């Protein structure tokens, strides 16, 4: 019997995170894996009661109902998450083809810190993140989420470079 694998993909609905999700579905995810989409929302982008209720552990938008939940814009809005039909299609098709369980966790705060927190709290065997391809100057000023996760994450990290 194969060991259970828990794979995370950081998704902010940008073109680079969608590329990372597609790459993960094509190259990493295999039958019976557990795929967790991790989205980090800025503080203040939530319904106050919901964020306080789920603050320590991420959102309740997980479990087998998650795949359905991401199909409903009202549910996504409740958690401050952008509804994106392209992401829904990638996840739906991949989940059917690969027979994987898909969960979604929403966290609030700094993406660098929260992705590292998610690695331990879910827990993940590996995480896949996109890279926007910032130059050295922009990366030095803005900071690189992928670089931070590579250096501070407690599991294997794959950075997928986005090509326009």
Q: How confident is the model at residue 136 (pLDDT cuts 50, 70, 90)?
A: low
The upper half-sphere exposure of residue 140, i.e. CA atoms within 13 Å in the direction of its Cβ, equals 3
pTM of the model: 0.79
In contact, 14 and 84? CB cutoff 8 Å? no
Looking at residue 106, what is its pLDDT? 84
- The most confident of the ranges 49-53, 67-71, 107-111, 148-152 is 148-152
Q: What mean pLDDT, rounded, does the chain reach?
A: 78
Q: For residue range 5-35, list pLDDT tens digits in order.
A: 999 999 988 898 999 999 999 999 999 899 9
For the chain, the structural domain boundaries read 6-161
CATH superfamily for 6-161 is HUPs (3.40.50.620)
The whole-angstrom separation of Cα 76 and Cα 111 is 18
In contact, 99 and 93? CB cutoff 8 Å? no
pLDDT beyond 80 at 80: no
Looking at residue 164, what is its pLDDT? 63
Q: Which of 154, 114, 126 lies closest to 7 in space, CA to CA?
A: 126
pLDDT beyond 60 at 101: yes
125 burial via Cβ count (<10 Å: 0-12, 13-18, 19+):
middle
Looking at residue 54, what is its pLDDT? 47
pLDDT beyond 50 at 64: no
Looking at the chain, how many residues does it have? 164
Looking at residue 72, what is its pLDDT? 61
Looking at residue 59, what is its pLDDT? 47
């Amino acid at each position: 019997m194969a060991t259970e694998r828990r794979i995370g993909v950081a998704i902010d609905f940008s073109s680079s995170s969608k590329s990372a999700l597609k790459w993960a579905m094509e190259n990493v995810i295999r039958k019976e894996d557990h795929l967790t989409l991790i989205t980090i929302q800025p503080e203040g982008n939530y319904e106050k009661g919901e964020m306080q209720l789920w603050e320590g552990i991420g959102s309740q938008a997980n479990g087998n109902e998650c795949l359905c939940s991401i199909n409903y814009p009202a549910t996504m809005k409740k958690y401050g998450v952008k509804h994106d039909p392209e992401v829904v299609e990638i996840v739906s098709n991949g989940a059917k083809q690969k027979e994987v369980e898909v969960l979604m966790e929403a966290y609030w705060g700094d993406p660098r810190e929260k992705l590292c927190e998610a690695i331990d709290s879910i827990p993940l065997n590996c995480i896949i993140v996109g890279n926007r391809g910032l130059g050295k100057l922009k990366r030095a000023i803005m900071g690189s989420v992928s670089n931070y996760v590579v250096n501070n994450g407690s599991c294997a990290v794959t950075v997928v470079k986005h090509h326009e």
